[in-house]
Structure 1
Amino acid sequence: MASVSVRYFVDDVDAAIEFYTTHFGFTVAFHPSAGFAIVTRDALRLLINQTDGPGGASQAMPDGRVPEPGGWNRIQLEVSDLDAVVGGLREAGVRFRNDIVTGRGGRQILVEDPAGNPLELFEPHAE
């Protein structure tokens, strides 16, 4: 597989594009309308959908539930110096869900995009 696609629902596609391109090195690959865009970073394609758009992804389910931003599923971006990245993001006013925590494989923190979707920044333990 050449790339992996992940879909995130947002309230404002332009705000999401600004967030991902400014802070995390994504580039805009496709932005055909105000309600949809694709941004990429390496082999990751992030499909950004506005929650109230006309496309199929934002349509209600048969039981009435509708897609919404937030939740706990997330993409993980590996970084080599978590403290430096977090410091820069804090200076830029980016929101976090928690402080840095250490686990078996390394250290991590959860960042929120403008719609409340989480990104995990992960620094693996040195080998």
Structure 2
Amino acid sequence: MTTPDQFASVRYIVDDVQAAIDFYTTHLGFTLATSAAPAFADVIRGPLRLLLSGPISSGARTLTDGSQPVPGGWNRIHLIVDDLNAEIDRLRAAGLSFRSDVVAGPGGRQILLTDPAGNLVELFEPAQRRATRTPAS
């Protein structure tokens, strides 16, 4: 069992491991830990280890019931940002795609970004961070 001081790992099935590495390291602040592209890589940001499993990886093999893991489900990693509007502007300027518009609720605001395989990344600005910024920021 993973101990509290170890990384929390999430596996994403991706179509192109190198494109996924480039996306997460270039745009979202992850660092490359290991790469066995085109099969697999893992990238790290803080306590999160994101496993990027390509079509030839063991994580993408057909299951015994015949179902096939595919990218682009609704589960997602959740990254907290200080300024959601600035992040949206930065990522749009880089040509990245969003799956949703900004959604606001009592806890804060969020938007869903898609990686090259269609997996979701939720960018979330907590309400308390928004309230502590000055209007000019």
TM bracket, shorter-chain basis: over 0.9
**Structure 2 residue matching 1:67: 3-state secondary structure:** coil
Q: Distance in 2 between matches of 1:104 and 1:88?
A: 25
Q: Describe the superposition over 1:40-84 as per-residue Cα deviations: whole angstroms up to 9, x where unpaired.
A: 00100000001x21x431111122111100010000000000000
Q: Distance in 2 between matches of 1:79 and 1:98?
A: 17
Match of 1:104 in 2: 106
Give the structure with the higher percent strand.
1
Asked if 1:68 is matched to 2:70, the reply is yes
TM-score when normalising by structure 2: 0.88
Runs of 4+ residues deviating >6 angstroms: none
Match of 2:83 in 1: 81
Q: Percent identity?
A: 54
> How many residues end up aligned between the 2 structures?
125
How does 1:1-127 map onto structure 2 within 5 Å?
1=4, 2-50=6-54, 52-53=55-56, 55-126=57-128
Amino acid at match of 1:46: L
Query: Which runs of no fewer than 5 residues in structure 2 stay unpaired?
Result: 132-137
Q: Distance in 1 between matches of 2:65 and 2:7?
A: 32
Larger radius of gyration: 2
Q: Describe the superposition over 1:15-61 as per-residue Cα deviations: whole angstroms up to 9, x where unpaired.
A: 000000000000000003421000000100000001x21x4311111
Query: Which runs of no fewer than 5 residues in structure 1 stay unpaired?
Result: none
TM-score when normalising by structure 1: 0.94
Q: Distance in 2 between matches of 1:62 and 1:27?
A: 34
